Structure 1
Amino acid sequence: MIGVIILFVLHWYGSLFFQTFFHHRYASHAMFTMSRTWEKIFHVLAWIFQGTSYLSPYAYGVMHRLHHTHADTEKDPHSPIYDKNLWNMMWNTRRFYNEVDRGIKDIDPKYIKGVPSWRAWDKFAEHNITRIAWIGVYILLYWLVGAPLWAYFVFIPMHSLMSPLHGAIINWFSHKYGYRNYEVKDTSTNLMPVDWLMWGECLHNNHHKFGGRPNFAVKKFEFDPMFVCIRIMEKLNIIQYKKGKLDTDYM
């Protein structure tokens, strides 16, 4: 059972790392820059760690920019105000994401500008055969660590839906529970001051106030672990951190 826990924790934090670092802070908000080579490397790494629930950085970035512009309005891709429950919100989010991903959603060009796009890779990574193959990998790994039968039915579905699970925590619970440092026009909250669970994403109210700020922590008692990673990758010259960057029209 220890092996199952280790696999789940590694997948949880590994998948979420790329979702917050690459999809959110880079693709959506352009908080830092990187070379085209590194951009493709992070596309591949995101696929490896997200697996079955791989999200296109392009579709994610466009949808998230729209979320910031229309937060908690009828045009918001995901709002707990206009969706009657968590499942309804996530289903509508999936539908909206698919429309953006397939290019059938009419999008203002300003929301697309600068979003990383490797559509050939996305097509491969999001193909049904590829997603099913990843489920096979999860089953094999659980077999290798000697997981009990019940663990397959409890944990494999969560591995398969890891990215939507992360999204549900932020888009639902971080708009309903927690505390607020700022009175913004939406319902965003901070779930926890030291975000050990979501790589800093739970400092959501702070982020909605300062959408382009790489460090989501604002108060002295708050801590954003992803910002530490950003600074380390800057020192390694993997990225170029935009110091002093705040908001733009879509942030």
Structure 2
Amino acid sequence: MTIVIFVLLLWYGGLFFQSFFLHRYAAHQVFTMSKTMERITFVLTWIFQGSSYLSAYGYGIMHRMHHAYTDTKEDPHSPSYDANLFAMMWKTKTIYQDINKQRIDVDQRFTKNVPQWKKFDVFAGSRFSRLLWVALYILFFAFFATAWWQWLLLPVTFFMAPIHGVIINWFGHIYGYVNYTMKNTSKNLFRFDFLMMGEGYHNNHHKHASRANFGVKWYEIDITYLIIRVLDAVGFIRLKPIKVRN
């Protein structure tokens, strides 16, 4: 039971900071926060994503490119142009690393105001940091695993962020329903997104990219947005007023 709780904590903790910090803040800037709060969130993202830590700079730029080039050859991740999900994720990894290491030229519209903490990212994204988290996960399983099948969950802890990415960027462009007909393949994966904390409302998000709440219908409850509202109410962040297009 301890192992299951641990994996769920990493799943939803890592997912929250990917959605809250990397996606809605770094890429879309639907709210603001102080520099101190930003640095704290960098560290919390590293703690919860662990061995699969993603840079806000690399993620933010790549996600903006995804919106600009959705389902075209320039899209960093699209089922329409990649043979399978493994090929798509390998392409995504390559582009992400090229952005972070500045090996490719990036249009300035994708880099504007994207948060960056270079020194921390060098450490958090280093091989040392990733292997350290891997070793800690293995030790945790060695101490608390009580059945052989629990060890099957260990690889999930290693690749948590890529798994989250595959669910949205591959399956979220193939399966599900649409509220808005657009010139892309984005879908809403669930009527109530219990698994991805609101990220599964992908079709809604592609229609209203700068909207903090990814849910549109009454039953589309965006759990991450609810937490954002609480953080806004207590003054940790400040939501931006956004006019939603019809």
Q: Normalising to structure 2: TM-score of the pair?
A: 0.97
Paired residues, what number? 245
Separation of aligned partners in 2, 1:27 and 1:245: 20
**Amino acid of the residue matched to residue 241 of structure 1?**
L
SS of residue in 2 equivalent to 1:48? helix
Separation of aligned partners in 2, 1:223 and 1:146: 34
Separation of aligned partners in 1, 2:133 and 2:156: 13
Residue equivalent to 2:174: 176
1:69-148 superposed matches below 5 A:
69-148=68-147
Residue equivalent to 2:12: 13
Among residues 171, 185, 201, which one is paired with 2:183 in the alignment? 185
Residue equivalent to 1:22: 21
Change (3 A) 1:67 1:167: same
Cα deviation 1:142-191 (Å, max 9, x = unaligned): 12213434533x22211110000000000000000000000111100001
Residue equivalent to 2:51: 52
Specify every segment of 5 or more residues in structure 2 that has no aligned partner in the other structure, as ranges. Answer: none
Contact 1:28 1:61 in 2 (8 A): yes
**Amino acid of the residue matched to residue 189 of structure 1?**
K
Structure 1 range deviating more: 57-66 or 218-227: 218-227
Does residue 235 in structure 1 map to residue 230 in structure 2?
Answer: no
Separation of aligned partners in 2, 1:166 and 1:115: 21
Contact 2:62 2:96 in 1 (8 A): yes
Separation of aligned partners in 1, 2:194 and 2:9: 14
Change (3 A) 1:143 1:227: same
**Amino acid of the residue matched to residue 54 of structure 1?**
Y
Separation of aligned partners in 1, 2:127 and 2:146: 26
- Tell me the C-alpha RMSD between the 2 structures: 1.2
Among residues 197, 212, 215, which one is paired with 1:214 in the alignment? 212
Contact 1:211 1:246 in 2 (8 A): no
**Amino acid of the residue matched to residue 230 of structure 2?**
I
Cα deviation 1:189-212 (Å, max 9, x = unaligned): 001021000010000000000000
Residue equivalent to 2:203: 205
Change (3 A) 1:113 1:119: same
Separation of aligned partners in 2, 1:200 and 1:137: 29
Q: Normalising to structure 1: TM-score of the pair?
A: 0.95
State the identity as a percent.
48
Moved over 4 A (4+): none
Specify every segment of 5 or more residues in structure 1 that has no aligned partner in the other structure, as ranges. Answer: none
Cα deviation 1:77-106 (Å, max 9, x = unaligned): 000000011111111111111101111111
